[in-house]
C-alpha cells in the first residue's frame, strides 16, 4: 500500500506539528507539492516508522538516521539503511526492526501495525512501561518478539494468539502482574518462551504442556504457586527449562523424566518438597541439574548414575539424607558437584577423585565421615574444595593442586590429621586456606608466604608445632593470618608484620615465647591478637609504625617494661588490652588525648602512680580495668593519690642511686613538698568533684535508670558490670560504639554506648529518650529490636537484640577493609534479603511522618528498610555531609534521579555496577528502595511485597564459572547456607 506525499503530510501533521524535523521537512519538499505532477507515492511502512519516531523519547538521538527529507531524493528505498531497519533481500519490505538498548521510552503507536511484513521486532533493554500495546499483535507475519528488560507493568493483554507464526517470545525482566497469559496457548509454533522476572501470580496453566515445538521454557523469578503441571512431560522437544525462584507447592513431577531431549533443568529455590523422582535418571541428555534451596528429602536416586552427560549438579540446601551414591563416580563429564547443607552421611565415594573434569566439589555442612578420595585433584582441574563442617578424617591427598588450579581449600571443622602436603606451598593459584579446628600436626611448611595470590590463611585450633615460617611476613597479598590455638613453642619470626597487605594477625594461645619483634613494616595491620602466650620483654616502642591499628590484645603474657606512649598516638586505636602481664611504670598521660579509645585494660600488672583523670576517656572506664596493680591510685579505685605515699619499686631504685649531698636533699624535699601540696589540693578537689558526681545521690548525674520495652532477665547493674568487663566490640558508628555482652541470665545483647563527647542538652536528651521509648515498640523481623535503654543525666546505653553478623555500617564503611563488602553485589543482595538489619532509631532511618505523628508502625519499618537498601546500593551512609545539611541518602538519591545520567552516580561501582548484568539487578533493587521510601506511607509496600520483589531481583550468579544454556546469560551461583565461610564476608561478632 502506498500513499501520496501530500496525504502523508496530512497524516503526519498531528504528530509533527511541533517538531523541528517536520518544519525542516515541510519547507524542503513544499515546492515539490506544487510542482510535482503526479505527486510522488510513499510506502505506508515509512509513515509507520515516522509515526513511531514521533511517539518515542529518544535521549540518545539514536534514530537520527530516520530522516524523511531524503525520501524523495533517491529512487532506492533509503529507509532500508536507517538504524535498526532491515529489509527483505532485493525488496523495500521491512522485515526486521531492532530498537534494543537505546534508552527509549514513550509509547508504541497504533501505526506500527502497518509494518505488515515485519518478522522480527526487538524492543528490549529500554524504558517502556505501562500497558503492552496490542497493536503489536496485528503484525501477523511476526516470528520473533523481544520486549525483555523493560517495565511493562500491567496484566499481559489478550490477542497474542493472533501471531500464528510466532516462534520466539522473550518478555524477561518486566513488571507484568496477574496470571500467566492463557491466550498464549494458541501459538502452536512457539519454540522459545521466556516470561521470567516479572510478578506473575497463580499456577502454571496445564495448557502450557501443549506447545509441540517448544524447546526453551523460562518462568523463573515470578510469584507463581501451585504445582508444576504433570503435562510438562508432553513437551518432548524441550531442551532448556528454568522455573526457579517461585513458590510452588508439592513435588517434582515424575513426568519430567519423559523429556528425553532435556539438557538444562533449573527448579531451584521453589519450596518444593517430597523426594527426587527416580525418573529424573532417564534424562540422559541432561547437562545441568539445579534443584538447590528447596525442601527436598529422601535419598539421591541411584538412577542418577545414568546421567552420563551431566556437567553441573547442584542439590544443595535441601534435606537429603543417606549416602552419596557410588554411581556419581560414573559421571565422567561432571565439573560442578554441590551437595552442601543437607543431612548426608557415609563416605565420599573414592571414584569422585577420578572424575576427569571435576572443578568444584562442595560438600560442606553434612555428616560425612571417612577420608577424602585419595586421587582427588590428580585431574589437574580442581578449583574449589569445600568439605568443611563434616566428620571427615585422615590425611589430605598429596596432589590436590596438581594442575596449579586450586583456589580455595576450605576444610574447617573436621577431624583431618597428619602434616600438610608439601605440594601446597607450590600451589600458586591458591587464594584461601581455611583448615581451622582439625587435628593437623607437624610444622607449617615453608613457602606459603611466597604464594603470589594467597589472601587468607587460617590454621588455628590444630596441633601444629615448630617455628612459624618466616616467609609469612613477606606474603604479597596475605591480609588475614590466624595461627591461634596451636603448640608452636617458638618465637615469632622477625619481620612477621612486614607483609604489605597484612591486616589481621591472630596468634592467641599458640605457645609463642620470646620477645615481640619490632613493628617495622606494619603499616596496614589493624588487628593484633596474641593473648595467652609466653611473650616476654618490653612492648617495642616502634608500635607507632602501625598507624592503622585498631585493636591490640597482648593479654596474659609475661611482658615487662613500660607501656609505650606511642600507642596513644595511633589515630584509630580503639582497643588496648595489656592485662595479666608484668608491666611497670606509670600509665602515660598521653592516653587522655586518645579520642578513639574505648577499651583500655591494664589490670593485674605492676603499674604505679595515678590513673589519668582528665579528658573524656579514663573517667568513663570501669575500675576493673585497673585492678591488680597495687601501686596505682586514683578516685575510680577508691584510693586517692596521697602525697608522700610509697611508690612501688622506689626502694630498689634508691639503692642504686649515688648518695646525694645534704643541700641537694634539702632542695629535693622542698620541691617535693611544694608539688605534694599542689597535688593534695588539686587531688582533693578532683576527688570531691568525682565522688559527688559518681557516688552521691546525684544532683548532676543521678542514678542509672533501666527502661525496658519487654520483659528482661537482667538489671541496670548487670548491664553496667557486663559492659565494664566486655572486650567484644562488634561495631563503631557515627553515634557510638556497639558491644556484645552476655548477661548473667545467659542472654546475649548488643549495647550501643553513645559517644561521651557528643553530649546533648537535657532538653534534647529527653527528646531522644522519648523517641527511644516509641522505637522500643517496633516489632519486625527485618528491623533490629530495641530491648531497652539505660540512662542517667550524662550517658545513654541502648540495648538491642544481638545480631551475630554485625552491622551494615561495619560491613560497608568499616575500617576493616579486608573484611567489608565493598566489592560484592551478590553478598550485598544477600544482606538486603536476610535480616542483617538496621537500627530503626538512628537518624537517617526514621520515616518523615514520625515528626508529626510520633508513631512507628510497619510502614515506618518499611521506610527504614528502604534506607538500608539505598545504603547497600550506593555504598554510602544514611547521613553524610555530601548530601547537604539536613539531607539523607533518600534526598540525595531523589535529586540524582532527576539529573541526566544521575543513576550512574547512585549505584556503587565498587559493587560491580559497571557490569551490565549487575547494574540491571541493582536497578531492580533500587526500584524497591524507592517504593519503600515513598513520602506517603500509604504508597509503601508491605514487607511481604518487598520480599517478593527482592526475590525477582535475585542475582543468578553462583561462581565465576559460567554454565551457559540457550539463554546465554545464566550463571551458576555457588549457593550455600548463610553462615558459611564468613571470612569471605567477615562476621564482626564471632569468627569461625
Sign of the CA dihedral running 865, 870, 871, 873: positive
In a domain, 423, yes or no: no
pLDDT over 70 percentage in the chain: 74
In a domain, 721, yes or no: yes
948 and 813 in one domain? Answer: yes
* Measured distance CA(277)–CA(813) in Å, rounded: 47
846 and 715 in one domain? Answer: no
| DSSP category for residue 255 | G
- Find out whether 896 is annotated in a ligand binding site: no
Q: Of 144, 256, 249, 241, which Cα lies nearest the Cα of 196?
A: 241
* Measured distance CA(544)–CA(547) in Å, rounded: 6
* Measured distance CA(329)–CA(305) in Å, rounded: 8
How many CB atoms are located within 10 Å of the residue 38 CB?
6
The position carrying cell 603448640 is 487
* Measured distance CA(157)–CA(843) in Å, rounded: 45
* Measured distance CA(40)–CA(885) in Å, rounded: 64
839 and 820 in one domain? Answer: yes
In a domain, 563, yes or no: no
In a domain, 787, yes or no: yes
- Cβ neighbours of residue 555 under 8 Å, at least 6 residues apart? 531, 532, 577, 578, 579, 580, 581, 601
871 and 893 in one domain? Answer: yes
842 and 770 in one domain? Answer: no
DSSP helix/strand/coil, 173: coil
Per mean pLDDT, which range of 221-225, 615-619, 798-802, 836-840 is the poorest? 836-840
Select the more confidently predicted residue: 472 or 695.
472
pLDDT over 90 percentage in the chain: 50
Q: Of 185, 182, 140, which Cα lies nearest the Cα of 165?
A: 140
Is residue 919 over pLDDT 70? yes
* Measured distance CA(202)–CA(205) in Å, rounded: 9
Q: What is the CATH classification number for the domain harbouring 779?
A: 3.30.200.20
- Cβ neighbours of residue 421 under 8 Å, at least 6 residues apart? 396, 397, 398, 399, 400
Residue 188: HSE in the Cβ half-sphere, 13 Å Cα cutoff: 3
Q: Alpha carbon of 813 to those of 130, 798, 867, 943: distances in Å?
A: 38, 22, 15, 26
In a domain, 859, yes or no: yes
* Measured distance CA(721)–CA(871) in Å, rounded: 35
| DSSP category for residue 392 | E
* Measured distance CA(672)–CA(666) in Å, rounded: 10
Select the more confidently predicted residue: 696 or 901.
901
827 and 777 in one domain? Answer: no
In a domain, 102, yes or no: no
pLDDT tens for 418-440 read 999 999 999 999 999 999 999 99
What is the DSSP track for 866-919?
HHHHHHHHH---SS-GGG-TT--HHHHHHHHHTSTTHHHHHS-GGGTTTSHHHH
913 and 816 in one domain? Answer: yes
Q: How many domains does the chain have?
A: 2
Q: What is the pLDDT of residue 965?
A: 35
Last residue of a domain, one of 777, 801, 825: 801
Q: What angle do CA 865, 867, 868 make, to 5 degrees?
A: 65
pLDDT tens for 636-683 read 888 888 775 443 333 333 333 333 333 333 333 444 434 343 333 334
Q: What is the pLDDT of residue 697?
A: 35
825 and 748 in one domain? Answer: no
Is residue 615 over pLDDT 80? no
890 and 783 in one domain? Answer: no
* Measured distance CA(130)–CA(985) in Å, rounded: 40
Q: What is the pLDDT of residue 76?
A: 62
Q: What is the pLDDT of residue 75?
A: 56
Q: What is the pLDDT of residue 404?
A: 94
Per mean pLDDT, which range of 63-77, 212-226, 707-721, 745-759 is the poorest? 745-759
Q: What is the pLDDT of residue 944?
A: 64
Q: Are 600 and 656 in contact (CB under 8 A)?
A: no
Q: Of 185, 183, 180, 138, which Cα lies nearest the Cα of 163?
A: 138
pLDDT tens for 18-75 read 344 343 344 334 333 333 333 345 678 889 999 999 999 999 899 999 987 766 555 5
Burial class (CB in 10 A: 0-12, 13-18, 19+), 89: exposed
Is residue 702 over pLDDT 70? no
Strand pairing class (288-290; 264-266):
parallel
pLDDT tens for 788-800 read 788 776 677 878 7
The position carrying cell 596438581 is 402
Q: In the structure, what pLDDT confidence band is assigned to residue 577 with cuts at 50, 70 and 90?
A: very high
Q: Are 571 and 596 in contact (CB under 8 A)?
A: yes
830 and 918 in one domain? Answer: yes
Select the more confidently predicted residue: 647 or 719.
719
* Measured distance CA(101)–CA(123) in Å, rounded: 8
Is residue 968 over pLDDT 50? no
Domain extent, residue 819, equals 808-953
Task: Provide the grid cell at 695.
Answer: 557516688
In a domain, 984, yes or no: no
Q: What is the pLDDT of residue 72?
A: 54
Q: What is the pLDDT of residue 201?
A: 94
Q: What is the pLDDT of residue 57?
A: 93
Sign of the CA dihedral running 186, 188, 190, 193: positive
In a domain, 167, yes or no: no
Is residue 241 over pLDDT 70? yes
* Measured distance CA(900)–CA(915) in Å, rounded: 20
Is residue 210 over pLDDT 90? yes
Task: Provide the grid cell at 327.
Answer: 554411581
Q: In the structure, what pLDDT confidence band is assigned to residue 956 with cuts at 50, 70 and 90?
A: low
949 and 855 in one domain? Answer: yes
pTM for the predicted model, two decimal places: 0.68
Q: Are 284 and 310 in contact (CB under 8 A)?
A: no
Is residue 471 over pLDDT 70? yes
Q: Alpha carbon of 295 to those of 43, 270, 313: distances in Å?
A: 60, 9, 17
Q: What is the pLDDT of residue 62?
A: 93
Residue 19 pairs with which residues in a beta bridge? Answer: none
Q: How far is CA 463 from the centre of its chain?
A: 34
Q: Are 753 and 728 in contact (CB under 8 A)?
A: no
Q: Are 479 and 501 in contact (CB under 8 A)?
A: yes
Q: What is the pLDDT of residue 481?
A: 95
Q: What is the CATH classification number for the domain harbouring 925?
A: 1.10.510.10
Q: What angle do CA 28, 34, 36 make, to 5 degrees?
A: 90
Last residue of a domain, one of 801, 832, 855: 801
* Measured distance CA(946)–CA(969) in Å, rounded: 26
How many CB atoms are located within 10 Å of the residue 111 CB?
20
Phi, psi (degrees; rounded to nearest 5) at 551: -130, 130
Q: In the structure, what pLDDT confidence band is assigned to residue 933 with cuts at 50, 70 and 90?
A: confident
844 and 777 in one domain? Answer: no
- Looking at every residue in the chain, the average pLDDT score rounds to 79
Per mean pLDDT, which range of 166-175, 500-509, 543-552, 980-989 is the poorest? 980-989
Amino acid at each position: 500500500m502506498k500513499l501520496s506525499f501530500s496525504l502523508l503530510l496530512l497524516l503526519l501533521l498531528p504528530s509533527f506539528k511541533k517538531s523541528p524535523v517536520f518544519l525542516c521537512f515541510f519547507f524542503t519538499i513544499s515546492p515539490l507539492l506544487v510542482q510535482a505532477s503526479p505527486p510522488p507515492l510513499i510506502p505506508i511502512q515509512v509513515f509507520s516508522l515516522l509515526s513511531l519516531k514521533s511517539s518515542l523519547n529518544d535521549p540518545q538521538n539514536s534514530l537520527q538516521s530516520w530522516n524523511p527529507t531524503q525520501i524523495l531524493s533517491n529512487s532506492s528505498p533509503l529507509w532500508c539503511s536507517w538504524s535498526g531497519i532491515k529489509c527483505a533481500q532485493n525488496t523495500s519490505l521491512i522485515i526486521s526492526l531492532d530498537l534494543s538498548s537505546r534508552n527509549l521510552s514513550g509509547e508504541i503507536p497504533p501505526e506500527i501495525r502497518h509494518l505488515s511484513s515485519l518478522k522480527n521486532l526487538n524492543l528490549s533493554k529500554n524504558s517502556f512501561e505501562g500497558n503492552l500495546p496490542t497493536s503489536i499483535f496485528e503484525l501477523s507475519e511476526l516470528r520473533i518478539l523481544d520486549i525483555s528488560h523493560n517495565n511493562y507493568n500491567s496484566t499481559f493483554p489478550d490477542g497474542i494468539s493472533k501471531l500464528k507464526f510466532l516462534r520466539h517470545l522473550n518478555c524477561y525482566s518486566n513488571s507484568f502482574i496477574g496470571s500467566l497469559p492463557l491466550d498464549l496457548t494458541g501459538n502452536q509454533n512457539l519454540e522459545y518462551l521466556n516470561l521470567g522476572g516479572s510478578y506473575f501470580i497463580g499456577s502454571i496453566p496445564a495448557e502450557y504442556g501443549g506447545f509441540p515445538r517448544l524447546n526453551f521454557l523460562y518462568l523463573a523469578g515470578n510469584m507463581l504457586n501451585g504445582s508444576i503441571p504433570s503435562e510438562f512431560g508432553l513437551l518432548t522437544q524441550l531442551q532448556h527449562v528454568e522455573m526457579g525462584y517461585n513458590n510452588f507447592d508439592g513435588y517434582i513431577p515424575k513426568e519430567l523424566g519423559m523429556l528425553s531431549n532435556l539438557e538444562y533443568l533449573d527448579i531451584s529455590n521453589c519450596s518444593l518438597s517430597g523426594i527426587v523422582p527416580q525418573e529424573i535418571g532417564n534424562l540422559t541428555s541432561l547437562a545441568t541439574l539445579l534443584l538447590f534451596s528447596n525442601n527436598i528429602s529422601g535419598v539421591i536416586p541411584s538412577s542418577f548414575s545414568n546421567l552420563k552427560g551431566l556437567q553441573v549438579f547442584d542439590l544443595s540446601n535441601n534435606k537429603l539424607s543417606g549416602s552419596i551414591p557410588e554411581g556419581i563416580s560414573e559421571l565422567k563429564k561432571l565439573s560442578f558437584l554441590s551437595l552442601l547443607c543437607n543431612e548426608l552421611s557415609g563416605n565420599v565415594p573414592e571414584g569422585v577423585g577420578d572424575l576427569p573434569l571435576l572443578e568444584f566439589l562442595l560438600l560442606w555442612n553434612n555428616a560425612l565421615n571417612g577420608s577424602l578420595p585419595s586421587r582427588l585433584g590428580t585431574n589437574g582441574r580442581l578449583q574449589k574444595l569445600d568439605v568443611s563442617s563434616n566428620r571427615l578424617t585422615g590425611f589430605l591427598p598429596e596432589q590436590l593442586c596438581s594442575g596449579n588450579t586450586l583456589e580455595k581449600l576450605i576444610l574447617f571443622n573436621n577431624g583431618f590429621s597428619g602434616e600438610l602436603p608439601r605440594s601446597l606451598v607450590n600451589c600458586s593459584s591458591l587464594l584461601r586456606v581455611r583448615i581451622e579446628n582439625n587435628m593437623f600436626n607437624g610444622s607449617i611448611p615453608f613457602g606459603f608466604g611466597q604464594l603470589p595470590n594467597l589472601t587468607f590463611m587460617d590454621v588455628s585450633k590444630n596441633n601444629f608445632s615448630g617455628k612459624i615460617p618466616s616467609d609469612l611476613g613477606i606474603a604479597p597479598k596475605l591480609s588475614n593470618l590466624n595461627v591461634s590455638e596451636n603448640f608452636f613453642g617458638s618465637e615469632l619470626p622477625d619481620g612477621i608484620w612486614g607483609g604489605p597487605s597484612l591486616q589481621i594477625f591472630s596468634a592467641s594461645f599458640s605457645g609463642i615465647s620470646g620477645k615481640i619483634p619490632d613493628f617495622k613494616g606494619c603499616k596496614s595491620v589493624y588487628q593484633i591478637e596474641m593473648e595467652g602466650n609466653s611473650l616476654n620483654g618490653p612492648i617495642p616502642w616502634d608500635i607507632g609504625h602501625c598507624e592503622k591499628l585498631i585493636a591490640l590484645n597482648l593479654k596474659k603474657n609475661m611482658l615487662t617494661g613500660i607501656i609505650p606512649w606511642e600507642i596513644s598516638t595511633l589515630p584509630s586505636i580503639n582497643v588496648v588490652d595489656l592485662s595479666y602481664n608484668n608491666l611497670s611504670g606509670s600509665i602515660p598521660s598521653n592516653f587522655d588525648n586518645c579520642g578513639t579509645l574505648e577499651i583500655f585494660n591494664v589490670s593485674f600488672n605492676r603499674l604505679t602512680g595515678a590513673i589519668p583523670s582528665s579528658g573524656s576517656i579514663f573517667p568513663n572506664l570501669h575500675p576493673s580495668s585497673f585492678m591488680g596493680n597495687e601501686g596505682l591510685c586514683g578516685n575510680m579505685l577508691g584510693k586517692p593519690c596521697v602525697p608522700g605515699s610509697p611508690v612501688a619499686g622506689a626502694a630498689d631504685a634508691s639503692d642504686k642511686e649515688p648518695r646525694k649531698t645534704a643541700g641537694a636533699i634539702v632542695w629535693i624535699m622542698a620541691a617535693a613538698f611544694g608539688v605534694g601540696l599542689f597535688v593534695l589540693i588539686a587531688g582533693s578537689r578532683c576527688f570531691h568533684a568525682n565522688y559527688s558526681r559518681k557516688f552521691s545521690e546525684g544532683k548532676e548525674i543521678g542514678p542509672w535508670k533501666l527502661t525496658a520495652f519487654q520483659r528482661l532477665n537482667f538489671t541496670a547493674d548487670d548491664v553496667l558490670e557486663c559492659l565494664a568487663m566486655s572486650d567484644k566490640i562488634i561495631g563503631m558508628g557515627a553515634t557510638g560504639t556497639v558491644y556484645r555482652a552476655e548477661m548473667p541470665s545467659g542472654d546475649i545483647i548488643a549495647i550501643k554506648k553513645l559517644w561521651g563527647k557528643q553530649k546533648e542538652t537535657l532538653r534534647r536528651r529527653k527528646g531522644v529518650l522519648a523517641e527511644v521509648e516509641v522505637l522500643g515498640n517496633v516489632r519486625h523481623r527485618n528491623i533490629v529490636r530495641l530491648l531497652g535503654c539505660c540512662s542517667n543525666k550524662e550517658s545513654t546505653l541502648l540495648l538491642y537484640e544481638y545480631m551475630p553478623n554485625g552491622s551494615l555500617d561495619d560491613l560497608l564503611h568499616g575500617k576493616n577493609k579486608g573484611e567489608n563488602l565493598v566489592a560484592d553485589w551478590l553478598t550485598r543482595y544477600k544482606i538486603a534479603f536476610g535480616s542483617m538489619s538496621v537500627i530503626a532509631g538512628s537518624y537517617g532511618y526514621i520515616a518523615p511522618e514520625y515528626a508529626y505523628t510520633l508513631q512507628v508502625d510497619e510502614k515506618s519499618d518499611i521506610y527504614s528498610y528502604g534506607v538500608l537498601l539505598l545504603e547497600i546500593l550506593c555504598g554510602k551512609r544514611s547521613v553524610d555531609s555530601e548530601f547537604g545539611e539536613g539531607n539523607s541518602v533518600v534526598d540525595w538519591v531523589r535529586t540524582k534521579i532527576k539529573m541526566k545520567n544521575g543513576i550512574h552516580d547512585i549505584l556503587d561501582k565498587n559493587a560491580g555496577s559497571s557490569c551490565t548484568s549487575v547494574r540491571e539487578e541493582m536497578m531492580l533493587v533500587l526500584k524497591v528502595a524507592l517504593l519503600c521510601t515513598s513520602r506517603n506511607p500509604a504508597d509503601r509496600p508491605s514487607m511481604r511485597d518487598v520480599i517478593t520483589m527482592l526475590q525477582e531481583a535475585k542475582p543468578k550468579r553462583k561462581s565465576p564459572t559460567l554454565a551457559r544454556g540457550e539463554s546465554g546469560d545464566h550463571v551458576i551461583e555457588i549457593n550455600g547456607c548463610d553462615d558459611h565461610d564468613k571470612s569471605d564476608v567477615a562476621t564482626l561478632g564471632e569468627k569461625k
